[in-house]
């Protein structure tokens, strides 16, 4: 019997996929089953376009304890401890309702971490908006920042790192990627695998409502201008705090077999995934599910994405202890089913079967697609543009250009954002937001610590998605190296447009291949991640935005350094002296262009530069380190002076001569470049270290005084620069 196209549209299935479901099932699914299949076969849950590509990523390494396939990845820290990390997107809900969309994105990623048995200790976010002078973008910006701050602050988890970027292509499709890290004893890690037929399935946390129904499918199709307020969840961070503490406490018993959070596709996804990992089946009775709304159907209960809920598999002998703990935390905890040995997800209502599907059909039978990949001709033309065709910057224009870039929302101080986040909660934060290229956190009771950061330059990725993604990996690793940490592992969030279009699929393929190459050469495995596709409206896609979240390990957290210069001392440039204007912030600000080839990237040089910086910090030679990224060398020098509240006198004649142009030397961008300040008398040690690592090094000048002076080009009070830099985001918003 033909099915109405609007029904297939609602569950995000194509006619081909519907026919496949019938063939595999041997019958037509009923509406409940159809909704369950649609949710699990959606792009958001089924990874239809990305699954074949993600196999290219390196996922193992000497420190990896848990790679992709669980709620989060886990990496060895030492002394029996692991760091657990994951990043997720909440882009589509945020475009509809920015405050709750961003807030519940935080709630979801936190549940992924404590579902592994780890205590969450820090959050990071990666945000993308349209031009901030536009009223709607201000609404989105303030809503997103407010939602992240509200949920994290109430939950008691500090938001300590992140990145933000503004570009016209994000007008209709803002991006909110939330990352969380946690600490656990390796022996206490728990996997979401429903084993042991006869074990009980327990639903814990908030009552189930109609919010979030079709959230997974909504995030898996193009849907311009349509209202989706019914699919945006509403968060309750105070309830999640109780849930977090209660779940960690019940894991101290020996009664919990598995734990899974309820995120996209709700009860359907959670139950199917833990059954699939355990090679079992599950039987649920939706009549037992606590509800906050009357008249809910089994379809609605199974697909609700109400927040602050967890699914546990519990040994019957320990059920009384488990339920008693949840009661003490004033949480609903209800036995709603059991693990079976028949491999089926069976849904009952008051004992009557209303849906019955093979678990493998839901989790493994989704079609995957290999599409035509073709680069857009317009992008090739942009990349072929030669910035040298433009007039060079004149010496008299340098100070004015410096001020304009410092005020640029992409470069300006992020204090208006992070001042809304309580980064001091839990008292682990050593280097807070704004003080360094990455956040640094202590691990209580240990000498070692961790560093974390998110990064991605979408201009580079638009112009060359493979090279741009390699830059994202390299810069994220460089950021944690600049505080003294060895990069350990990556969690990625791949944000793209509609992969059914050849030019978008090309971006996705190239980005993953670039990530695989960079991670392989730099020796950093990808242990978890997320893919968010269909980020476009009326055929206008976001730039490819493969966000890289990274965690590094500091052997001695007391040895970390920030980006701010510390007192008087000499400043050096480690790495390449050559830069390019292609894809640069300077080109966008001065000429209104996103064009040219992004900077080349020598991954071997990148590896050596980072190793040199880390060793210099560990040996006490380097007092401050800062990556040269958006805005180039002059911006990096100014930022280190402003953060350290000390001026400096610098010379750039040799760099100008090497680059052949004033604008390229001062504001051009390049990979594998770090400015460092060395301790008095340690200049020779730095030069020797650079020789050992095979890293170019060049003296830039020295710090001191209260003015920022660059040869004959710039001579300004540091206070003026600080005023320009700290008001950029405020003025734009």
Does any domain span residue 495? Answer: no
Residue with more model confidence, 523 or 46: 523
What average pLDDT does the segment 57-64 reach? 96
Does any domain span residue 131? Answer: no
Amino acid 9: pLDDT? 81
Q: What is the pLDDT of residues 385-441, one digit of tens each?
A: 999 999 999 999 999 999 999 999 999 999 999 999 999 999 999 998 999 999 999
pLDDT of residue 349 exceeding 70, the answer is yes
Amino acid 133: pLDDT? 92
Amino acid 264: pLDDT? 85
Does any domain span residue 142? Answer: no
Pairwise CA distance, residues 237 & 364, whole Å: 33
Confidence band, pLDDT 50/70/90 cuts, at residue 342: very high
Q: What share of the chain is helix, strand, coil (3-state, %, to 5)?
A: 40, 25, 35
pLDDT of residue 600 exceeding 90, the answer is yes
Does any domain span residue 679? Answer: yes
Residue with more model confidence, 651 or 223: 651
Amino acid 233: pLDDT? 75
Amino acid 88: pLDDT? 96
pLDDT of residue 733 exceeding 70, the answer is no
User: How much of the chain exceeds pLDDT 70, in percent?
Assistant: 97
pLDDT of residue 217 exceeding 60, the answer is no
| Domain total of the chain | 1
**3-class SS of residue 102:** helix
What average pLDDT does the segment 88-102 reach? 93
Vertex 57: Cα angle to 553 and 112 (nearest 5):
60
User: How much of the chain exceeds pLDDT 90, in percent?
Assistant: 91
Amino acid 225: pLDDT? 40
Q: What is the pLDDT of residues 190-215, one digit of tens each?
A: 999 999 999 999 999 999 998 867 65
Amino acid 302: pLDDT? 96
Does any domain span residue 157? Answer: no
pLDDT of residue 617 exceeding 60, the answer is yes
pLDDT of residue 189 exceeding 50, the answer is yes
**3-class SS of residue 348:** strand
Backbone angles phi, psi at 346, to 5 degrees: -110, 125
What average pLDDT does the segment 666-683 reach? 95
Closest by CA to 439, choosing from 71, 40, 157, is 157
Global pTM? 0.95
Pairwise CA distance, residues 637 & 648, whole Å: 9
The H-or-E segment that residue 462 falls in is helix 458-463
The chain-wide mean pLDDT, for the chain, equals: 94
* CATH label of the domain that carries residue 647: 3.90.650.10
Amino acid 1: pLDDT? 55
| Domain with 726 in it | 561-733
pLDDT of residue 84 exceeding 90, the answer is yes
pLDDT of residue 227 exceeding 50, the answer is no
Q: What is the pLDDT of residues 269-321, one digit of tens each?
A: 999 999 999 999 999 999 999 999 999 999 999 999 999 999 999 999 999 99
Amino acid 263: pLDDT? 86
Pairwise CA distance, residues 230 & 304, whole Å: 11
Amino acid 224: pLDDT? 37
Q: How far is CA 57 from CA 67, 297, 588, in A?
A: 11, 41, 32
Q: What is the pLDDT of residues 507-520, one digit of tens each?
A: 999 999 999 999 99
Q: Treating both helix axes as pointing N-terminal to C-terminal, what angle do 15-25 and 31-40 enclose, rounded to 10 degrees? A: 110
What average pLDDT does the segment 462-474 reach? 98
What order do you get walking across the sheet with 119-129 strand by strand? 64-66, 73-78, 81-89, 175-185, 119-129, 159-166
What average pLDDT does the segment 22-49 reach? 93
Closest by CA to 334, choosing from 309, 308, 297, is 309
Residues recognised as catalytic? 44, 90
DSSP of 515-531: HHHHHHHHT--EEEEEE
Q: What is the pLDDT of residues 640-653, one digit of tens each?
A: 999 999 999 999 99
What average pLDDT does the segment 13-26 reach? 93
Does any domain span residue 583? Answer: yes
Does any domain span residue 373? Answer: no
Q: What is the pLDDT of residues 525-577, one digit of tens each?
A: 999 999 999 999 988 999 999 999 999 999 999 999 999 999 999 999 999 99
pLDDT of residue 328 exceeding 70, the answer is yes
Does any domain span residue 659? Answer: yes
What average pLDDT does the segment 67-91 reach? 96
Confidence band, pLDDT 50/70/90 cuts, at residue 691: very high
Q: What is the pLDDT of residues 145-155, one digit of tens each?
A: 999 999 999 99
């Amino acid at each position: 019997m033909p099915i109405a196209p609007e029904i297939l549209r609602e569950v995000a299935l194509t006619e081909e996929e519907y026919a496949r479901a019938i063939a595999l099932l041997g019958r037509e699914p009923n509406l409940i089953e159809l909704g369950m299949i649609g949710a699990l076969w959606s792009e958001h849950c089924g990874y239809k376009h990305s699954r074949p590509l993600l196999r290219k990523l390196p996922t193992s390494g000497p420190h990896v304890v848990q790679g992709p396939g669980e709620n989060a990845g886990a990496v060895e820290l030492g002394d029996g401890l692991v760091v657990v990390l994951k990043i997720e997107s909440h882009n589509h809900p945020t475009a509809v309702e920015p405050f709750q969309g961003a807030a519940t994105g935080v709630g979801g990623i936190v549940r992924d971490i404590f579902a592994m048995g780890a205590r969450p200790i820090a959050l990071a976010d990666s945000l993308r908006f349209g031009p901030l002078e536009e009223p709607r973008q201000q609404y989105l910006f303030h809503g997103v920042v407010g939602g992240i701050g509200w949920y994290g602050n109430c939950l008691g988890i500090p938001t300590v790192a992140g990145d933000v970027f503004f570009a016209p292509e994000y007008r209709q499709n803002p991006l909110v990627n939330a990352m969380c890290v946690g600490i656990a004893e390796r022996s206490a890690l728990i996997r979401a695998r429903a084993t042991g037929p006869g074990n009980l399935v327990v639903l814990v946390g908030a009552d189930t409502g109609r919010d979030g129904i079709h959230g997974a499918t909504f995030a898996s199709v193009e849907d311009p201008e349509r209202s989706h307020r019914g699919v945006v969840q509403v968060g309750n961070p105070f309830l999640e705090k109780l849930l977090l503490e209660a779940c960690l406490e019940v894991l101290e018993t020996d009664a919990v077999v598995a734990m899974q959070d309820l995120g996209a596709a709700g009860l359907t996804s959670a139950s199917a995934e833990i059954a699939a990992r355990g090679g079992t089946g599950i039987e649920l009775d939706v009549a037992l599910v606590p509800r906050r709304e009357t008249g809910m159907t089994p379809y609605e209960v199974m697909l609700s994405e109400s927040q602050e809920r967890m699914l546990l598999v519990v040994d019957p002998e320990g059920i009384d202890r488990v339920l008693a703990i949840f009661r003490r935390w004033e949480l609903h905890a209800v036995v709603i089913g059991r693990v079976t040995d028949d491999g089926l997800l069976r849904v009952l209502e008051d004992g009557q079967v209303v849906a019955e599907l093979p678990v493998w059909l839901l989790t493994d039978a989704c079609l995957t697609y290999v599409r035509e990949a073709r680069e857009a001709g317009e992008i090739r033309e942009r990349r072929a543009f030669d910035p040298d065709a433009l007039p060079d910057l004149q010496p008299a224009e340098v100070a004015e250009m410096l001020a304009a870039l410092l005020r640029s929302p992409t470069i300006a101080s992020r204090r208006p954002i992070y001042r809304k986040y309580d980064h001091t909660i839990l008292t682990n934060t050593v280097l807070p937001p704004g003080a360094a290229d990455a956040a640094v956190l202590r691990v209580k009771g240990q000498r070692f610590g961790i560093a974390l950061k998110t990064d991605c330059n979408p201009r580079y990725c638009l112009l060359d998605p493979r090279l741009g993604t390699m830059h994202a990996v390299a810069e994220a690793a460089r950021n944690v190296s600049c505080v003294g940490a060895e990069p350990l592992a990556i969690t990625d969030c791949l944000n793209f447009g509609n992969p059914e279009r050849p030019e978008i699929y090309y971006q996705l393929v190239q980005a993953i291949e670039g990530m695989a190459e960079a991670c392989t050469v730099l020796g950093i495995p990808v242990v978890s991640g997320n893919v968010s596709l269909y980020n476009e409206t009326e055929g206008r896609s976001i730039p490819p935005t493969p966000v890289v979240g990274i965690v590094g390990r500091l052997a001695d957290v007391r040895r970390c350094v920030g980006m701010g210069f510390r007192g008087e001392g000499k400043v050096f440039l480690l790495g390449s002296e050559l830069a390019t204007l292609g894809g640069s912030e300077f080109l966008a600000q001065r000429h209104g262009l996103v064009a040219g080839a992004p900077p080349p990237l020598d991954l071997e040089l990148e590896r050596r530069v980072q190793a040199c910086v880390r060793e210099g910090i560990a040996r006490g030679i380097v007092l401050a380190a800062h990556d040269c990224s958006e805005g180039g060398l002059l911006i990096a020098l100014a930022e280190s002076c402003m953060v350290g509240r000390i001026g400096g006198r610098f010379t750039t004649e040799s760099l100008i001569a090497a680059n052949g142009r004033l604008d390229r030397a001062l504001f051009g961008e390049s990979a594998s470049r770090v400015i460092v300040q060395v301790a008095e008398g340690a200049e020779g040690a730095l030069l020797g270290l650079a020789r050992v690592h095979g890293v170019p090094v060049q003296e830039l000048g020295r710090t001191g005084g209260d003015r920022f002076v660059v040869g004959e080009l710039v001579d300004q009070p540091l206070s003026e620069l600080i005023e320009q830099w700290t008001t950029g985001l405020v003025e734009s918003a």
